[in-house]
Amino acid sequence: MLSLIPLDPSTLGRLAAALSIALVAAFVLTPLVIRLAHRMDWLAHPTDDRWHATPTALMGGIAIFAAATLAVLFTGSWGSAGLLWLGATVMFATGVADDLWTLRPSAKVVAQVVATGLLIGAGYTFSPTWPVWLAVPLTFLWVIGITNAINLLDNMDGLSAGITGIAAAVLTVMALLAGVPAFAVIGLALVGATLGFLYFNFKPARIFMGDGGSLFLGYTIAALAIMVQTMLAPEGGWAVYAASVAVLAVPIFDTTLVTFTRTRIGRSVSQGGRDHASHRLVYLGLSERGAVLSLYGVSALAGALAVIYVLSNVLLFAALLAFLLAGMGVLGVYLARAEVYDTPEAPLTSGDGAAAPASADELPLLQRMVTWPTRAFGHRWKPVCGVAVDTVLVLAAFVMAYVLRFESGLTLSHEAFLAQALPLVVMAKIPVFYAFGLYKAVWRYAGTLEVIRVLKATTVSSLVVLGVLAVTFGLSSIALGVIVIDWLIVTMAVGGVRFGFRGLRQYVAARRTTGRPTLIVGAGSTGRAALRNLRSDSEANVQPVAFVADDETTEGRSLQGLPVYPRSEGLRDVCEAHDIAVVVFALDAASDDQIERDCREATRAGATCYGFVIGVMPLRAEEAATSVAISPEHHMAVRDGPTHGVSNQPQLYHLHQQAH
pLDDT tens, position by position, 202-241: 989 999 999 999 999 999 999 999 998 888 765 555 677 7
Mean pLDDT of 501-523: 81
pLDDT of residue 241: 78
Least confident of 359-363, 416-420, 603-607: 359-363
User: Can you tell me the distance from the alpha carbon of 303 to that of 261, in angstroms, rounded to the nearest whole number?
Assistant: 26
Secondary structure of residue 546 in the 3-state scheme: strand
The confidence band for 3, taking pLDDT boundaries of 50, 70 and 90, is low
pLDDT of residue 142: 95
Q: How far is CA 259 from CA 109, 185, 265, 276, in A?
A: 18, 34, 10, 10
Whole-structure pTM value: 0.83
Higher pLDDT, 571 or 188: 188
Higher pLDDT, 52 or 302: 302
The confidence band for 459, taking pLDDT boundaries of 50, 70 and 90, is very high
pLDDT of residue 477: 84
- Name which of 540, 532, 564, 541 is nearest 551 in CA terms: 564
- Name which of 426, 419, 465, 304 is nearest 410 in CA terms: 419
Least confident of 15-19, 153-157, 401-405, 547-551: 547-551
The confidence band for 48, taking pLDDT boundaries of 50, 70 and 90, is low
Q: To the nearest whole number, what is the mean pLDDT of the chain?
A: 82
Residue 358 has pLDDT above 80, yes or no: no
pLDDT of residue 534: 80
For 542, which DSSP code? E
The confidence band for 141, taking pLDDT boundaries of 50, 70 and 90, is very high
Least confident of 188-192, 308-312, 586-590, 652-656: 652-656
Residue 522 backbone zone (phi > 0: left; psi -120 to 50: alpha; other: beta): left
Least confident of 29-43, 128-142, 150-164, 384-398: 128-142
The confidence band for 318, taking pLDDT boundaries of 50, 70 and 90, is confident
Residue 626 burial (CB count, 10 A): 16
Residue 402 has pLDDT above 60, yes or no: yes
Buried b (16+ CB within 10 A) or exposed e, 362-396: ebeeebbebbeebbeeeeebbeeebeebbbbbbbb
* Percentage helix, strand, coil for the chain under 3-state DSSP, each rounded to 5: 65, 5, 30
Residue 102 has pLDDT above 70, yes or no: yes
User: Can you tell me the distance from the alpha carbon of 126 to that of 260, in angstroms, rounded to the nearest whole number?
Assistant: 25
Mean pLDDT of 118-135: 87
The confidence band for 362, taking pLDDT boundaries of 50, 70 and 90, is low
pLDDT digits (tens, 9 = 90+) for 461-488: 999 999 999 999 998 888 889 999 999 9
Q: Give the Cα-Cα-Cα angle 434, 440, 446 (nearest 5 degrees).
A: 115
pLDDT digits (tens, 9 = 90+) for 342-355: 654 444 443 343 44
pLDDT of residue 96: 97
Residue 368 has pLDDT above 80, yes or no: no
Higher pLDDT, 259 or 625: 259
Range with the largest mean pLDDT of 116-130, 150-164, 438-452: 150-164
- Name which of 601, 609, 560 is nearest 582 in CA terms: 609
Pairing of strands 608-613, 582-585: parallel
Report helix angle 9-40 to 60-74, nearest 10.
Answer: 160
Domains and CATH numbers, the chain: 9-256 (no CATH), 371-508 (no CATH), 515-659 (3.40.50.720)
Residue 490 burial (CB count, 10 A): 28
pLDDT of residue 37: 95
pLDDT of residue 622: 35
pLDDT of residue 237: 59
Residue 636 has pLDDT above 80, yes or no: no
Write the CB contacts of 175 (distance below 8 Å, at least 6 apart in sequence). Answer: 181, 183, 184, 187, 224, 228, 231
pLDDT digits (tens, 9 = 90+) for 618-631: 323 333 333 333 33
User: Can you tell me the distance from the alpha carbon of 195 to that of 616, in angstroms, rounded to the nearest whole number?
Assistant: 57
- Name which of 586, 564, 582 is nearest 636 in CA terms: 586
Mean pLDDT of 113-132: 88
Mean pLDDT of 329-337: 88
User: Can you tell me the distance from the alpha carbon of 404 to that of 422, in angstroms, rounded to the nearest whole number?
Assistant: 16
Tell me the three-class secondary structure of 154-202, residue by residue: CCCCCHHHHHHHHHHHHHHHHHHHCCCHHHHHHHHHHHHHHHHHHHHHC
- Name which of 195, 171, 198, 199 is nearest 184 in CA terms: 171
